[in-house]
Amino acid sequence: MCDLKLCVLFFVQGAFTGVCSQKHVPSFMNNCDKFKEKGVDSIVCVSVNDPYTMNAWAEKLGAKGKIKFYGDFDGKFHKTLGLDLDLTGALLGPRSQRYAALVEDGNIKVLNVEEVPSDFKVSDAETLLKGM
Active-site residue set:
20
Contact between 20 and 54 (Cβ < 8 Å):
no
Separation of alpha carbons 75 and 71, rounded Å: 9
Contact between 10 and 4 (Cβ < 8 Å):
no
